[in-house]
Amino acid sequence: MIVAVDGPAASGKGTIAKALGRHYGLPVLDTGLLYRAVGLSVLKAGGDPDHEEDALAACGFDDGTLADPALRSEAVGSLASRVSVHQSVRDALVQRQRDFAMQPGGAILDGRDIGTVIAPDADAKIFVTASVRVRAERRFQDALSHGGHPDMDSLIADIQARDTRDMSRDHAPLRQADGADLLDTSDLTIEAAVQRAIALVDAQLEGRASGVTR
């Protein structure tokens, strides 16, 4: 059982993916962490994330890097968006993601190209989104809770820039996969969004079991 959860930054896809993992008893991979690890590795090496060779060289990061708290920062998130435009970087990380998806029992993967590239034959697909204003507010509140001093205008600009990069890149652009259900979390509580996601996944699984194609 493979479930693909895609969507833009701060849409709630990570929270939903973790909740689905708990509900179905499946391991969860935040594939964005892989790109964040590449971005952070480029930064530490003094390289340029916009330079493909520098970004590719950083793809050999140690697994321990995935546990680095610095990966969760807004700055590293921006770096991840920049290194992800390189086809060679995406190619280097594809097999790692597919191996996780194909483990016995299945898995939940969240990212930006799970349903379109990594696991196009996933048993269930969800595309999670929310308005730019709502996503910026979530980032704002998260930064405050960690003692930061965020600027709303800067957060909005950053999210818009990341959306543009992710949706317009030549390789594996962010888009709703064929057969994926749209889940807009703009006006939903976390609990409501999770319950809606579970209902959508259950409906897709039931459809597959009954032989109904969408």
Residue 104 has what pLDDT?
A: 94
> pLDDT tens digits, residue range 43-53?
999 999 999 99
- Is the pLDDT at 144 greater than 80, yes or no? yes
Alpha-carbon distance 73 to 143, whole Å?
A: 9
Give the pLDDT mean for 137-166: 92
> pLDDT tens digits, residue range 155-193?
999 999 999 999 998 888 999 999 999 999 999 999 999
Residue 195 has what pLDDT?
A: 98
Residue 103 has what pLDDT?
A: 93
Which has the closest alpha carbon to 162: 85, 53, 88, 49? Answer: 85
For the chain, the average pLDDT equals 94
pTM for the model stands at 0.88
For residue 11, which amino acid is it? Answer: S
Please compute, for residue 87, the number of CA atoms within 13 A of its CA located in the half-sphere on the CB side. 2
Task: Work out the pLDDT band at 148, boundaries 50, 70, 90.
Answer: confident
Q: Which residues of 26-46 are buried (b: 16+ CB within 10 A; e: fewer)?
A: bebbbbbbbbbbbbbbbbeee
Task: Work out the pLDDT band at 213, boundaries 50, 70, 90.
Answer: low
What is the number of other CB atoms lying within 10 angstroms of the CB of residue 158?
Answer: 19
Alpha-carbon distance 30 to 107, whole Å?
A: 11
Alpha-helical regions (H) of 102-175: 132-145, 152-168
User: Which percentage of the chain shows pLDDT scores above 90?
Assistant: 85
Structure tokens at 178: 């064929």
Give the pLDDT mean for 136-148: 91
CA max distance for the chain? 54
Give the pLDDT mean for 56-65: 92
Please compute, for residue 53, the number of CA atoms within 13 A of its CA located in the half-sphere on the CB side. 0
> pLDDT tens digits, residue range 79-115?
999 999 999 999 999 989 999 999 999 999 999 999 9
Of 214 and 196, the one with more pLDDT: 196
Find out whether 100 and 29 touch, Cβ atoms under 8 Å. Answer: yes
Place of tokens 């595309």: 127
Give the pLDDT mean for 181-210: 96
- Is the pLDDT at 22 greater than 60, yes or no? yes
